Structure 1
């Protein structure tokens, strides 16, 4: 849930003006994406071209007016520029959705739902064990996300780019790695508009291996498999978190531990998050500076290592957000300008939502963006507020997880209609262990490719902070009143926003000097 700003980012001094110019375009982009991906395909085919054309026309008109006018009133030009960017961003999202729909779920595929078909898929995620009701009765199955590129029947052959969630019977599930191309026979079940996958696919029989993963994915698969095996023999709940903290593999995490992590407000530490990407970039920038590497070469090295890191830990929405944001920051640094964190975050959202509008409905991306935005906007004022009662250092330590928690809570209640009572305290205790586990685990995982015994030793070293995090989660989850019931859905989310805003306004408006005079 928490996040870290990339190194070299100017977050402004106490009196610095917060740069919000790209926040509104990003918010509009998100809303437009969330609405348009939920449209039925026939309606979307009619509405989206018109909407995109209208938005582009507005953007072009505003730009031409700005170019023709000689008005020096900067605030009017700023408003007009924002309107143009908002319109352009909305238009790009509409164009992206319209471009994805024909291959995401072609009309010909709709008629084949429920019928036995053959598909060629490329595996996109590490398989996990799950119960499935798509087969005869409820039984254990292996589940993974994939991209279907070819669908065949006795009379048809359809090329597509359809994201699917594949279920294999455990008895017939061979080892499956990311990037592997498989041939499957089974039945499709269409999902609703706006879902991250266009269909569920229930495979029958044994998959056929068609193409092995490309070299870079094979490299990452081997590293993850080796490190997972090293962690599997470790004792206690901490062992379940080791692969997740180091390389984003949550296949060992039990339902019981996952529930404890959620209840205690530490679910963001179950796997690699955006903060881990920032840690990697910061480490390279600092180490590069220590050995007197030029800024340009440090930036190049950061981009290379960050790309390898994303491949290794798999591109979850939070990791992608951090990687795109870090890339924007690094490119800005390379151009000689001082990057700002909030515009970089907003631009990263626009880039990701234009590339994949269905991410607008991802809770993982929403929590990552809100946590980062909360840290950038709320940490400083909360630090100032808490400094009335605590020493500066302690108030800052409290302000960081509190800022992230306040920003994320409206979305968290949508996932679970409750509020984690001890979340801030649990994060204060557990967060310092996460970077240690990530760095040690990641280094040992990569080093294990050269010296296999290092993977085992690194897994043990990662187990120490991982066990601390698991222990903190279990302790607070088992305390009385670990969660407070709260209304669910949109009303509950709105209520959280109102209560949080009212509490912050009341606290910030209090005059400590007047209170001191009244108490004297």
Structure 2
């Protein structure tokens, strides 16, 4: 006896869509044939997320405005910047009128038949985007004008202009580092000036001093008698302290800087690295033993960003293969600390986890000192903590753009900092390009290897044009060197931070805790030395803006040749830009109010159904019958 399956009568053939399992199998086979990359698209039930680039234009406007403003050299530069800020404000006021004039009837829909639908390409959307850009530019220009006005009236600026000898009292705010050449040796650091001939100052100065500055740890208060020199336009420091100065130490580090100095000194002692005031010769002051030369000095650099004792040969090798970012505390440290910390605090409520995460983030910034990359990473970490409080995941691209805008508003001189630009570019490249590149590489590589290769590849491609401005050469072995060094950098960061926190209270335990960091840094030293001396490690390339643009064009060309989908996407977007925008500038006129009682009659006529004037005749689905009609 035949059983009736699906209500089609006994023995009748079944259609594939009558069996959910068979239908799902056929759909997977169809998608697998469509995407010959291992079926990874077919097995994903979630569509890829679109990039949220709404804050891209505002961050570019802020960056351009701040970069232009802080580069003004004239004495009345703040007036010029304030004038441009006023123009941006006037433009914003005009755009407010346009937004209100061309606003689509999204929240004031006309219920009568024949009312226009919401047009996504209406003029109001473009005006609103331009309004946000104008407001951001006006804000950053106004803040820059205030900074320039205060800078112009500071006694340190007046001392630079007169060129007369002055007496400065200040605090060493950075760890002194050595720049040695065949002719001379310079010690570079930064001095936060407090007084200029007994007058209060809030600016800072760059120190290009002799070896007597090398013995001064961060936080030391000094008195300097010198003749100041001007800095280059766009520098955050207002003056340069030359080599010939009269230096007097007023007091050792104290307060927060004193605690940070003791932590750094404890880590250096635990791993056997040179301390403050060590000889400047390559490898001098470093203990010998099992580890290769430079490994002990690299541990404080990777863990805390303290690379002042890094030997010159190792520093050059790391620069050749683009590994210097490993000694610059950035998003990797924030990701490790917050990732491990929030995972350990998983049993607590969201608010407590976010609060303790903010405490850990603050302590990390204090410990490693707030540089451009540290502030950018800390800002993105703060955005992530806000997402934890709200119970939702923070989008990476908007978080990066928002963090960059906040930092530019706080310190407009970040717009001309190469470290800040490299940090933002590398993060943007990883956020935007790591997944597509990993998906493309997974066609010929295992998924885990494709993901590991994609991260340094997209970061190097994003930072390449900026690096050309600093060093006109292209490294052929940068990607494999970073690929082999990244796992060791994670181990060195965790082990080094733990040893640094333990060292002031228990030096012996800190020495044992630092062994994994020493092993990881030894591996990084060997990798840098091996790849830096291979043929093609530093290929010559044209320098300047032309060289950067040429490298960027080459990278885009390689992307178009290698990825057909990227080529089709670029052609499609170019076609959209060339289409005529017909009918998009027509203003929306407020409709006349409906006649009395028309709204109530219309609601009765359309009760339970979608109005016919709200859908097209070609795509309107048939109205479902009610149970009484069946």
Please give the range of the TM-score, normalised by the shorter of the 2 chains: 0.7 to 0.9
1:193: which partner in 2? 233
2:173: which partner in 1? 124
Q: Determine whether 1:99 maps to 2:146.
A: yes
Q: Determine whether 1:86 maps to 2:133.
A: yes
Q: Determine whether 1:367 maps to 2:450.
A: no
CA distance in 1, matches of 2:209, 2:398: 43
List per-residue Cα deviations over 1:465-515 (Å, max 9, x = no partner): 01111110100001112122111111110011111111111222179xxxx
Q: Quick check: 33-42 or 21-30, which moved more? A: 33-42
Superposition pairs for residues 294-313 of structure 1, below 5 Å? 294-313=349-368
Q: Determine whether 1:282 maps to 2:322.
A: no
- Secondary structure of the corresponding residue to residue 345 of structure 2: helix
CA distance in 2, matches of 1:277, 1:40: 37
CA distance in 2, matches of 1:305, 1:107: 36
CA distance in 1, matches of 2:461, 2:540: 17
1:151: which partner in 2? 196
Superposition pairs for residues 62-461 of structure 1, below 5 Å? 62-63=95-96, 65-66=98-99, 70-71=103-104, 72=106, 73-76=119-122, 77-106=124-153, 109=156, 112-113=159-160, 114-130=163-179, 139-152=184-197, 157-171=198-212, 173=213, 175-202=215-242, 204-209=245-250, 212-214=253-255, 216-231=256-271, 232=273, 233-235=286-288, 236-289=293-346, 292-461=347-516
- Secondary structure of the corresponding residue to residue 403 of structure 1: helix
CA distance in 2, matches of 1:376, 1:78: 26
Question: 1:194: Cα distance to partner?
Answer: 0.5
CA distance in 1, matches of 2:214, 2:440: 56
TM-score, normalization: structure 1? 0.88
Question: 1:452: Cα distance to partner?
Answer: 2.0
Q: Is the 8 A contact 1:106 1:160 kept in 2?
A: no
More helix by percentage: 1
Question: 1:23: Cα distance to partner?
Answer: 1.1
Question: 1:170: Cα distance to partner?
Answer: 2.3
Q: Is the 8 A contact 1:445 1:458 kept in 2?
A: no
Q: Is the 8 A contact 1:371 1:407 kept in 2?
A: yes
List per-residue Cα deviations over 1:49-97 (Å, max 9, x = no partner): 1111121232344345535665134444443232122111111221122
- Secondary structure of the corresponding residue to residue 476 of structure 1: helix
Q: Is the 8 A contact 2:171 2:222 kept in 1?
A: yes
2:92: which partner in 1? 59
Question: 1:163: Cα distance to partner?
Answer: 2.0
Q: Is the 8 A contact 1:177 1:213 kept in 2?
A: no
Question: 1:218: Cα distance to partner?
Answer: 1.9
Q: Is the 8 A contact 2:302 2:327 kept in 1?
A: yes
Q: Determine whether 1:31 maps to 2:75.
A: no
- Secondary structure of the corresponding residue to residue 161 of structure 1: coil
Q: Is the 8 A contact 1:223 1:446 kept in 2?
A: yes
Q: Is the 8 A contact 2:155 2:201 kept in 1?
A: no
Question: 1:257: Cα distance to partner?
Answer: 0.6
Question: 1:327: Cα distance to partner?
Answer: 0.6
- Cα 1:213–1:83 change in 2 (3 A) is farther
- Cα 1:391–1:128 change in 2 (3 A) is closer
Look at both structures and tell me which one has the larger radius of gyration over its CA atoms. 2
TM-score, normalization: structure 2? 0.73
Question: 1:451: Cα distance to partner?
Answer: 1.3
CA distance in 2, matches of 1:284, 1:110: 45
- Cα 1:124–1:104 change in 2 (3 A) is farther
Q: Which runs of 5+ in 2 are unaligned?
A: 1-44, 107-118, 274-285, 567-630
Q: Is the 8 A contact 2:178 2:185 kept in 1?
A: yes
CA distance in 1, matches of 2:424, 2:323: 17
Q: Which runs of 5+ in 1 are unaligned?
A: 1-11, 512-520
Question: 1:16: Cα distance to partner?
Answer: 1.3
1:7: which partner in 2? none
Q: Is the 8 A contact 1:241 1:271 kept in 2?
A: no
* Number of residue-to-residue matches in the alignment: 488
Question: 1:105: Cα distance to partner?
Answer: 4.7
Moved over 6 A (4+): none
1:504: which partner in 2? 559
Question: 1:239: Cα distance to partner?
Answer: 1.4
Q: Is the 8 A contact 2:75 2:152 kept in 1?
A: no
List per-residue Cα deviations over 1:173-194 (Å, max 9, x = no partner): 4843334433221121111211
CA distance in 2, matches of 1:413, 1:104: 32
- Cα 1:30–1:219 change in 2 (3 A) is same
- Cα 1:13–1:323 change in 2 (3 A) is farther
List per-residue Cα deviations over 1:149-197 (Å, max 9, x = no partner): 3211xxxx543322211244324x4843334433221121111211232
Two-structure CA RMSD over aligned residues (Å): 2.4
- Cα 1:167–1:55 change in 2 (3 A) is same
